[in-house]
Chains A and B, each alone.
Chain A
């Protein structure tokens, strides 16, 4: 409310309708439940109104003037209605929430699938945190809208209208008087609520600053201490914590005022009813149709009137933030940065694994090509290493081969078929890739070897791992293959992570291997293990290796040298050294690094 962007406010009404239409496919399957809950909530409201009416009748007939019989019947009615109210309220709340949970389960799943399908180019541009927020925070906001949203608001509005009609039928003058004064008081509370929200927003802001400061200083405490900055850090923290306290105090002030004023509001309304209604009653009870029971009912109705009225302003803000969330969600669902699947896909019967790059030009920003007219061929079963300075475009070659991006000029073929003609999943399942930054998922070691391939049996996965001597590493883990891997493999060394990634590829046994060697330093034991594993992995398999290690380079059939996006040299290790060109220079530098 208070912090909404005024420029965005104007076209909002139309946008809201459009958003509701977009939401409809997710809501419609829950239509039955929603209708049921609306009916339940309306029934509950009717019961709540009727109980007070029964009480009024009981008071008029049996307490003001004793007419004797019939009280039992009225009280029986009271019991039935009260029971209906209890059951109706519980069931109504429940069904609304079930409907919401069901609808959002589908929406969340759809959104996640959409994110998976979006192209790498999209993901390169978009910060992860923002997308995570769409799937979690924004969906939660929509959830709120369901549980305290449209249906309940509708039910509340109907209830409020029904109450007003009932009150008018009871005594129209008194109702009119109450309805003139009440809005003023309600307006005051609404205004306070806006202030509460504004203060709260400030508080949230200062809290996230506190969190950021705290996290950084806990992680970097050794640095703080090393540079003896403890006192300054404390002063900094005191300041930020004090800011948060002050923001909290402001919101406490408004909250306190609001909670007291809500109570005051209901007391003042009672006073008004008593004063004006009582005067009317004393003047001419017969003409006004007022009784003590009616006054009591009036007070009781107004009490029930205030509950949804107070909630309503809260619910409207919930609705507003839900609409903002829905807007963001559908904006994301509208993104269609997909790589096109081929219109008439070609599926060659068996991958033999011949690769050809033909005049490939590509840039993440088309204005700045990373690769310029690169052409080369890799025969079946050939092992080819790619070397060159960082930033020369080596990794990009692999990304194009697996079609994370499409070439801008030229073509890439696998066994003579353009990669754009192959179905994406077909292409990618034929190429085993080991990225430079081995990415492990939460789960155990074996899970990471099998990763999403249920058709690979545990024995097969273990066999693949054993062939690469992963078992030698794994036996050092307390739980062996069942050792849990923390998010992103944080509890494993880089050598261990690589071996797992190798095993992952070997288990799938693709005809083509595309490998981006890690640059990070590993100790000589791991180095030896990795080289043996690499040899095993590449034997008899078309391999394209971005190489950083001398031993790897010496082991391959052919070496390609890429510099500034161009293929500048090609040949065996000995040939290239003899030529004394770029490779020889690179090699000298490598020697320095290792020697």
Chain B
């Protein structure tokens, strides 16, 4: 907590006035509330005393009780509004700060840290921090004030009896604290188990055709039942502790009552004499009643405090993650990209071993495919030099994992590179603002990610001011327009769960159209049309030719025929440029490219065609 506080402090300070006023209200409400037993004593004493003044005394006391309780309700509402309300404001501030930081982090951060992990920071951890800066502060102030005021008040009535009656409290506090920890741990375990159950159901439904055809229904049911059994056991463990806690607290109330009654036996003096009257006893009992239930919650408050500060630490990790693609310190102003001539001078990119990469604690590094499974540091690109004059096309060929995508990302400003390796129009990309660099690039990645906005908004994602005509032109160039008729609202259809579901090919074509709308000097297509059937893919590429005119184009493709017309083709192998040249030069050289071309052509001749 001590380490986390400095991080939280600026957020709290912004709402300092609310917290101070709120705390004052808490103290005031407790103080007022504790007057009520005093009036109660007066009332009982008046009744006990009897006589002509009794009625007057009684009604005065009752009047005070009514007035005080109304005042308490008012002040109490106000205190809660201030403190709990402010905690929501603090959480909002924290959320937006965190999100802002996320938008600055390089894509590599999101590769290292699974989305689920980051989401959990925003949801679960934020919930706990919100609990820390709201309810925890409120209850702690409340309970501490309650004890601080009630105990002396009780002591003035009868010190020894107060001491005796409060003697069991520390024990119960300890017990409730332990129980609270166990209950919360148990609930979390049960919650995780429920998540597991939900995953099992989801899996069995998604794979139900497989389960059926492989006759695995029984096995799946067995596995599911085992999970349910475990869930039941976890739940019952929590209930057992909860039942015990409820019982214990009922016991505490009875025990302290018993102590007061036993202690008071034979010592009560008539109400008209000074000393321990029947009214005194009633007010002592009343005070004790006020103290028992906060004692129960105190256990939960303390564990919330611990969880809150742990959560705070995890949130700080995100804010502390280094922005690895910062704006260069040389500006402003920063240089701008012009025609888009590209030069790579010995580009080398090394992926650190996963274990040594900084990632959020508790998040296992992702292991996706062969790329990431490499043990130890892996050189992804090793001294790649190539120059692409403005307006020309570079084809890139290579096996999976040969570094094609990394190369493209380095050019697009999505990958950290060292100084002196990538130049655009003669400017080192390290001197360019990443945002300026990206704005100069139309990039279509392998996974065509679309947002759940309308198709039109998705197409205009890189240039919101694009006109409907421009969008239509881009949709035409990417052969998306023919599909639009399938969607209920054409370009206005919402993409995703709440709207239309696009096929893989449709997504890729939409992503292509989105990049075309940007109208940037550099166009990068990373195996963009893999899910589009070959006929349409060919049409699209032909249709793109005039668009690529005058633009620097980087093209990755599996089908070599697609690259035939590129001014230059490089073959990447294990991160190095194995070969480079025009289609004809490469064929003549008789190397990797020629072999690949040979293999693809042999299928043709063996197939008996041409």
Contacts and interface: CB of A to CB of B under 8 A. Distances in A.
A228 B439 contact: yes
Residue of A135, A229, A268 with most partner-chain B CB within 10 A = A135
A117 B607 CA distance: 46
A15 interface: no
Contacts of B434: 225
Given A86-B251, A296-B282, A128 B205 contact: yes
A113 B221 contact: yes
Contact of A86 (B92, B210, B250, B445): B250
B175 interface: no
A131 interface: yes
Contacts of B236: 97-98, 101
B205 A428 contact: no
Interface string A98-139: 100110010011001101110010010000100110011000
A259 B221 contact: no
B221 A120 contact: no
Q: Is the interface of B mostly helix, strand, loop or mixed?
A: helix
A382 B503 CA distance: 35
B461 A223 contact: yes
A307 to B, nearest CB: 10
Nearest to A281: B47
Interface string B93-123: 0011001101111010010000100110011
A267 B534 CA distance: 80
B385 interface: no
Contacts of B40: 270, 274
Contact of B604 (A248, A399, A595): A595
A90 interface: yes
Contact of B50 (A101, A282, A428): A282
A592 B268 contact: no
Contacts of A525: 399
Contacts of B182: none
A561 to B, nearest CB: 15
Given A108-B228, A116-B211, A226-B441, A252 B84 contact: yes
Interface stretch (B9-17, B252-260, B344-352, B539-547): B252-260
B381 interface: no
Interface residues of A, number: 141
A545 to B, nearest CB: 15
B281 interface: yes
A595 B559 contact: yes
Residue of B80, B198, B201, B251 with most partner-chain A CB within 10 A = B201
A264 B604 CA distance: 88
B250 A89 contact: yes
Contacts of A128: 202, 205-206
A71 interface: yes
A441 B266 CA distance: 75
A317 to B, nearest CB: 21
Interface stretch (A174-182, A355-363, A490-498, A533-541): A490-498
A245 B59 CA distance: 46
B55 interface: yes
Interface residues on B, range: 35 or more
A476 B214 contact: no
A229 B257 CA distance: 66
Interface string A202-246: 000000000110111111111111111110111001100110110
A558 B2 CA distance: 76
B465 interface: no
A576 to B, nearest CB: 11
Given A120-B212, A282-B58, A588 B258 contact: no
B247 interface: yes
A135 B201 contact: yes
B240 interface: yes
A63 B263 CA distance: 12
B373 interface: yes
B561 to A, nearest CB: 6
B250 A222 contact: no
B538 interface: yes
Contacts of A595: 559-561, 600-601, 603-604
A231 B463 CA distance: 13
A441 B203 contact: yes
Interface in B224-277: 224-225, 228-229, 232, 235-236, 239-240, 242-244, 246-248, 250-251, 254-255, 257-258, 261-262, 264-266, 268
Contact of B207 (A75, A275, A439, A592): A439
B244 A90 contact: yes
B80 A271 contact: no
Contact of B464 (A55, A232, A263, A453): A232
Given A85-B254, A97-B239, A594-B600, A63 B264 contact: yes
Contacts of B110: 218-219, 221-222
25 contacts: A55-B261, A75-B261, A93-B243, A97-B236, A112-B221, A128-B202, A132-B198, A143-B235, A212-B452, A217-B102, A221-B105, A222-B445, A225-B103, A225-B414, A229-B462, A245-B89, A260-B74, A263-B73, A274-B61, A452-B215, A476-B370, A478-B373, A593-B534, A594-B600, A594-B604
Given A63-B265, A441-B203, 14 more contacts: A62-B266, A78-B258, A78-B261, A85-B250, A112-B225, A128-B205, A226-B438, A233-B103, A248-B88, A442-B199, A477-B373, A487-B199, A491-B367, A587-B609
Q: Which 6 A-B pairs have the closest CB atoms?
A: A452-B219, A90-B247, A267-B69, A82-B254, A256-B80, A227-B462
